[in-house]
A and B are shown apart, each in its own frame.
Chain A
Amino acid sequence: EIVLTQSPGTLSLSPGERVTLSCRASQSVSSSFLAWYQQKPGQAPRLLIYEASSRATGIPDRFSGSGSGTDFTLTISKLEPEDFAVYYCQQYGSSPYTFGQGTKLEIK
């Protein structure tokens, strides 16, 4: 099973700042089959990025993903107030399909 470790656990930032979230896999994720989701309190997750760097439909271009192998990142170029949420990575390269434990982005 591929274990995904997200870091840091919590980030305190201000609107307008740039942030990079990390997702590290315990073994290589084939074909960069990695997705990122955003989840706000009381809401369902929302797909942001798939195949490591492809933005999902309707996702603003301030969100970008990169990486391959075991190291992946999600970057938000300029934080908007609505971006404060929990972010999860998920690998779909091999079964069982696993999520990271999440990174919480909170307002400073």
Chain B
Amino acid sequence: EVQLVESGGGSVQPGGSLRLSCSASGFTFSSFAMHWVRQAPGKGLEYVSALSYNGGSTYYADSVKGRFTISRDNSKNTLYLQMSSLGAEDTAVYYCARRYSSDWFFSDYWGQGTLVTVSS
């Protein structure tokens, strides 16, 4: 069974940093590209970042470019999102999701999400 479990969310002050983790199991993690998707309270979905199976190719939404860094450790079956210079607009539930296939940018399995709150 595919499982994705996010951790690392919490409250942070504006301008602060946070690192999210996503632990994967139930599939060959090193064979799949992975995504981070966020959802602000009461709002829709936004692809934040993505990383190819081997870490060689990245995607960032314009809203986070230069502030967020995605990475992975295939030996630990873990995906990361390093977030810095956080602002109130980054407050959201952050979901880790698996890309269906390398060529098709949509997500077939999702974690339950971790809440990031940016507030003074």
Contacts and interface: CB of A to CB of B under 8 A. Distances in A.
B107 A47 contact: yes
A89 B100 CA distance: 16
Contacts of A100: 44
B39 to A, nearest CB: 9
A47 B44 contact: no
Interface in B26-70: 37, 44-47, 59, 61-62
B106 A99 contact: no
B95 interface: yes
User: SS class of chain B's interface: helix, strand, loop or mixed?
Assistant: strand
B110 A44 contact: yes
Given A50-B106, A92-B104, A96-B62, A44 B113 contact: yes
User: SS class of chain A's interface: helix, strand, loop or mixed?
Assistant: loop
Among B100, B105, B113, residue most surrounded by chain A Cβ atoms (within 10 Å): B105
Contact of A45 (B45, B100, B104): B45
A12 interface: no
B112 A101 contact: no
Given A50-B106, A56-B108, A96-B62, A44 B45 contact: no
Interface of A: 33, 35, 37, 43-47, 50-51, 56-57, 88, 90, 92, 95-102
9 contacts: A33-B104, A44-B112, A45-B45, A46-B110, A47-B107, A47-B108, A57-B108, A95-B59, A102-B44
Interface of B: 37, 44-47, 59, 61-62, 95, 97, 100, 104-113
